[in-house]
Chain A
C-alpha cells in the first residue's frame, strides 16, 4: 500500500469497494454497515473503559483479597454450578483464592504490561524510524537491516531467550517485549517520513532555512502521530497476549501476584475435570484484546482522512 503513489492506490481501493456495492446492493446497506461499524467501535471502547475502571478500582470492587485463600475452600466451582456458593461467584483456585477477585486484580497486570511495553517500543521505534526515514544513507540502511532481521524472527522466541537469562519478572517482561518490538513502529514511521519529506511544505520549510531538527520535530513528526496511535492500539493488544503467554509459561509475572497468564498456567493441571479454570482467565484476555482491537479499528477509520471523506 505504501507505494510511490499512496493516494492513488487508496482512491482505487475505495472505488473498488464502491463499485462492489453498486453491483447489487443498495447504498442503504453501506450506510447501515458504517453505522454498525461505528457502534462496534464504541462498544469496544466502552468495554475497554469498564476494564480500565475495574483495574483501577480493584481494591473497592473485588469481593475478596486476591492473595488470601483458605485451603478448605480450594477449587470451588462457580456459583451457578452444583457445589458453588454465592460467596465465590466464579469459584476458587487451587489454594482457595477467589477467582473473580484475582481476575479483577489481574487486569492491572495485563493493562500495565500492555501499556508500558507499548510506551517503551514507541520511545525506541519512533525516533529510530524518523532518523532512518529522514536521513537516508548509512543510518537508514543500518536501521532498515536491523528492522528486517528482527521482523523476520518471531519476537516471542526472542523475548523468551532474553528473559531466561535476565530472570522472570514483571519489569523484565515489559522491558523485553518493548525492546523486541520497536521494529513495528520503526518500519511504519520510516516509510511515512520518507513520504512526508518529499512533500512541498517540507521543501518550503527547508528553503526558509529551518534546521533539520526543527523540520522533523515540528513539521514531520506531528504528521506521523495518527499512525503511532493506530499502531499502538494493535500493539497493546499484542503485548497483553504476549505477556500472558510468558506468564503462562512461568517466565513472566511471578507466583502470588494475580495475573491472567499465571492463572491460565496454573489451571492446566486441574483443567481436565474443571473446565471453568482455564476458560475464565482466557476469556478475560480475549475480551480485553477484542475490545482494544475493535476500538482500534474504529480509530483507524476515523483518523484516516481518505476513508473518512470518501465514504
Chain B
C-alpha cells in the first residue's frame, strides 16, 4: 500500500506544480500581467509606476519564486475586479462545481450501467445496436449544443425547468444531464465489454449451474468484477469531466469554479484566473489520487502487488 502511496503523492505534487507553472508562464512570460489592471488608454508613465508597484519589473525568476512561495499557502493576491483575495472567491465556488460534477457523474453512471449490462447480455440484439448507435452519437455530440437544445425544448418550449442559474434542485437537472451524456458513452462501452468478458468465465457458469437466477448472476456475480475498470476510468476521466463542466457551467451560467475561471479570463483578472485554474488542478489530482487508492483497496490483485 505504501509503495503505491508514495509515488502517487509525488506525481500529485508534480502535477499541480506543472499546471501552476504553465499558468504562471502564460501570464507573466507570454502575456503582460499589467493588461488586466489598466485601460488601453493609460499613459506609459502610469504603466511604469504601476508595473513597479506590483513588482512586475523584477526579474522573472524572482517573480516566479515570489508567486510560488505565496501560491503554496493559497495566496494568489487580490482580484483585480472585486477587491477580495482570489482564493476566497474560488472557495465560494467549489461547492457548486462539486455538486455539478457529482450529479453529472451520477447520471452518467445511471445511464451507463443498466444499458451496458443489457447490451452485454444480449449482444448484437436490437437494444445493443440502438445503445451502440446512441453511444457513438453521444460521443460526437457537442455538449454546448446539447445544452442549448435542452434549454430550447425544456425551458422555452415546455417551461418545465429553469434555463440557467443556481439555487433550487430544478436548476441542476439540465446541466447535470448534459454532463451525464458527456460521461455515459465511454462508461457504457466499458461496462459492456467488461460484462461480455466476465459472463463467459467459469464462476458465472458455476453460479448458473447452481441454479442462481439470471438477475442475481448479472448484478451480484458479474457486475462487481466489471466495476473496477469503470471506477478507474471515471477517476481518470475526472479531468475530462471538469472539461465538460467548463462547457456546461458556461452554457447554463452555473456559478462554479470553471465559470469563474472563464469570467476571469475574459476580464484578464489574473489572480482569480490563476487561483481557479490551480484549484481545478488540485481537485482533479486529488480525485485521481482517491480513485487509485479506492481501486487498490477494492482489487485484491493490486492491493497485494
B236: chain A residues at CB < 8 Å are 152
The answer, yes or no, to whether B123 is at the interface (CB within 8 Å) is yes
| A154 and B15 contacting across the interface, CB-CB below 8 Å | no
The answer, yes or no, to whether B102 is at the interface (CB within 8 Å) is no
Bound-state CA distance A150–B285 (Å) is 11
A264: chain B residues at CB < 8 Å are 144-145, 148
| A20 and B123 contacting across the interface, CB-CB below 8 Å | yes
Q: A13-B197, A161-B273 are in contact. Are A153 and B19 (CB under 8 A)?
A: yes
How many residues in B have their beta carbons less than 8 Å from beta carbons of A?
59
| B281 and A153 contacting across the interface, CB-CB below 8 Å | yes
From the candidates B139, B142, B152, B277, name the one contacting A245 in the complex (CB within 8 A): B142
Q: Which of A88-96, A99-107, A125-133, A278-286 lies on the face that meets chain B?
A: A278-286
Q: Which of B90-98, B172-180, B261-269 lies on the face that meets chain A?
A: B261-269
| B124 and A155 contacting across the interface, CB-CB below 8 Å | no
A278: chain B residues at CB < 8 Å are 145, 148-149, 152
Interface of A: prevailing SS: helix
From the candidates A20, A36, A148, name the one contacting B200 in the complex (CB within 8 A): A20
| A285 and B268 contacting across the interface, CB-CB below 8 Å | no
Bound-state CA distance A278–B155 (Å) is 15
Q: Chain B's nearest CB lies how many Å from the CB of A59?
A: 27
From the candidates B199, B240, B243, name the one contacting A20 in the complex (CB within 8 A): B199
Q: Chain B's nearest CB lies how many Å from the CB of A100?
A: 19
The answer, yes or no, to whether A237 is at the interface (CB within 8 Å) is yes
The answer, yes or no, to whether A21 is at the interface (CB within 8 Å) is yes
Bound-state CA distance A282–B124 (Å) is 31
| A160 and B265 contacting across the interface, CB-CB below 8 Å | yes
5 A-B pairs within 8 Å (CB atoms) are namely A152-B238, A153-B280, A241-B142, A278-B149, A278-B152
A19: chain B residues at CB < 8 Å are 200
From the candidates B156, B265, B266, name the one contacting A272 in the complex (CB within 8 A): B156
| A275 and B152 contacting across the interface, CB-CB below 8 Å | yes
The answer, yes or no, to whether B23 is at the interface (CB within 8 Å) is yes
Q: Contact flags (1/0) for B216-241 with A, using CB distance below 8 Å?
A: 00000000000000000000101110
B281: chain A residues at CB < 8 Å are 153
The answer, yes or no, to whether B22 is at the interface (CB within 8 Å) is yes
The answer, yes or no, to whether B38 is at the interface (CB within 8 Å) is no
Contact residues of B between 40 and 89, Cβ < 8 Å to A: none
Contact residues of A between 1 and 42, Cβ < 8 Å to B: 12-13, 15-17, 19-21, 24-25, 29-30, 33, 36
Bound-state CA distance A154–B196 (Å) is 31
| B136 and A13 contacting across the interface, CB-CB below 8 Å | no
- Which 4 pairs of residues, A with B, have the shortest CB-CB distance? A154-B243, A282-B145, A165-B31, A290-B140
B120: chain A residues at CB < 8 Å are 20
B22: chain A residues at CB < 8 Å are 158, 161
Bound-state CA distance A162–B157 (Å) is 38
Bound-state CA distance A62–B123 (Å) is 45
